[in-house]
Amino acid sequence: MALEEVIIILLEGDGLTDSLRGLSSTEVKSIVEWREFYFRSYTFVGKLVGRYYNNQGNATKYLKGAEAKAARGAQLLEKQKAEEAKQPGCNSRWSQDEGGEVWCDTGFPRLVQRPLEIALTGKMSKRCACFLEDQLDQQGLEVYEGCDYLAQTCRV
């Protein structure tokens, strides 16, 4: 199919947009990864003229900006991964009958703020990590509710 034959789709209605404004860099990264998946998996037939491609089929500044934001998201994810690797995560299991449990083979389970989470998604979140006894005085560590201070296993 020639570029001229590409059908332009107009989105109408509440909440429908082709804008990525307001999405975090990791959310944009996910969208770019979906685009790459479709490029690999399906036969290319043309480009949709609009915000991201011009009439000649060239990338617009919006597409280049989205790709740059996705690259920043990838960098932030790698940095967060490296930070989290410094402190091992907890083991965990859950069943409908027994509920959840976290434990550490070495150390004590604590909830800790993900340091880059705000930059990645705009939302705060915590993860379970294992800390040695001499690390438990670090600021920001949270004992699981109902769990003893030096318990290696906690019900959640």
Q: pLDDT digit string (tens) for 56-75?
A: 989 999 999 989 988 988 88
Is 60 within 8 Å of 54 (Cβ atoms)? yes
**Phi, psi (degrees; rounded to nearest 5) at 132:** -75, 160
Confidence of residue 24 (pLDDT cuts 50, 70, 90): confident
Is the pLDDT higher at 156 or at 4? 156
Structure tokens at 142: 């949270």
Confidence of residue 92 (pLDDT cuts 50, 70, 90): very high
CA distances from 155 to 12, 78, 107, 111, 113 (A): 48, 31, 16, 13, 19
pTM of the model: 0.57
pLDDT at 120 over 90: no
User: Position 76: which residue type?
Assistant: L
* Predicted local confidence at residue 121, as pLDDT: 63
Structure tokens at 47: 């480009």
pLDDT at 7 over 50: no
